[in-house]
Amino acid sequence: MATFTLLPKSISPFPTTPSPTPPTHSPFSLSSSFNLPLSTKKTTTVHRPNAKKPNPWLDPFDDGEDPDLEYGSLFADGKQDEDPRPPDNPDNPYGFLKFPMGYTVEIASLASMVRGDVRRCCCVISGGVYENLLFFPAIQLIKDRYPGVQVDVVASARGKQCYEMNKNVRWADVYDTDQDFPEPAVYTDMIGVLKSRYYDMILSTKLAGLGHAAFLFMSTARDRVSYIYPNVNAAGAGLLLSETFVPDSMNLSEGGYNMYHQMTDWLGRPFRSVPRHLVTPLKVSLSRKLKEVIEEKYKNVGAAKGKYIVIHGIQSDSKASMQSRGDTDSLLPVEIWAEIATAIRYYYVNHFCPMLHGLF
């Protein structure tokens, strides 16, 4: 007995007159029936390494930069120019009036904000000497990326002394950001100092929660960039910051020389016709005044070049010691240094003196 299978009859989406030749297109293809595309808008995909999604809480209507937007002469491409302001008046008794008599206050133009020019930058560095020394390449990157920028630093008492060897830093202020409960007078005073300097960008290497993010927000800087906690403690911090970085661990020092790689990658990012800036090697520079002070101290104690060994790293109660954060063994007591000095003297007498006697 033959079995017949009833197949569903195809129905055309629109009533048409029967034609002698069957159609070659699919009966349910609306675009192919009219030979018109569904969308005539041309979409382009731009690949950006390490690109992050915009925060919808800051601006729900932010779709990113318009690739078809044309800028006029005020929005020229390339790096920013040097600061066109006249030089400061050294005889001005008021610290907040940083302009000579007869000149008006500088007003930042809209083009400067659109281009992202940075005239004044503040870096809030957490940690001790180790963390501040490794931030030197980031400061050099800021100077290369934004010509004419003035860089200030806020660091702890241990880290502030490092910036005697950095010629790119204008001012270095002492404020310990690692304190969980700072003194209210010190806290409000530092906020007033940061507000009075009118920074365009403020960077922070401290893992920020809502409290530290509010501290950076009250500085009224245009760009507020900081690391945040990689856990739930970072809740609410992104609402007050312009750019955030999530570290690999709770301790940035574990990254070694590249502990700030996320921040330096963002600072050196390409922007329109400005290419990507690479991180330069670590460099230190000693000023002539600092060298003269050190040589004067050597002369006062009778030390001469080539005859004495300077020992640095003696344990003390000073807050400005070279001890790194969390490293209790970086400074040695005087008793251990006495043993080291005795061993050095013994090695010098038994090895170098016979060699010198044989030469002469």
User: CA-to-CA distance for 89 and 101, rounded, in angstroms?
Assistant: 8
Predicted local confidence at residue 66, as pLDDT: 74
Domain 73-267 coded CATH 3.40.50.970: no
User: CA-to-CA distance for 274 and 258, rounded, in angstroms?
Assistant: 24
Predicted local confidence at residue 316, as pLDDT: 60
- Whole-prediction pTM value? 0.65
Predicted local confidence at residue 320, as pLDDT: 52
The answer for residues whose C-beta is within 8 angstroms of residue 126's C-beta and 6 or more apart is 156, 177, 178, 204, 205, 206, 207
User: Which tens digits make up the pLDDT trace of 26-55?
Assistant: 444 444 444 444 444 444 444 555 566 666
Predicted local confidence at residue 298, as pLDDT: 81
Predicted local confidence at residue 109, as pLDDT: 63
Are 119 and 148 contacting, i.e. CB atoms less than 8 angstroms apart?
yes
User: CA-to-CA distance for 342 and 349, rounded, in angstroms?
Assistant: 11
What strands lie across the sheet with 243-245, from one edge to the other? 169-174, 150-155, 120-124, 201-208, 223-228, 243-245
CA dihedral 338, 344, 350, 353 (to 10 degrees): -120
Are 135 and 260 contacting, i.e. CB atoms less than 8 angstroms apart?
yes
Give domain limits for the chain: 73-267, 288-359
**Which parts of the chain register pLDDT below 50?**
5, 7, 10, 12-13, 21-46, 96, 324, 354-360
Predicted local confidence at residue 193, as pLDDT: 93
Predicted local confidence at residue 31, as pLDDT: 42
CB atoms within 10 A of CB 331: 17
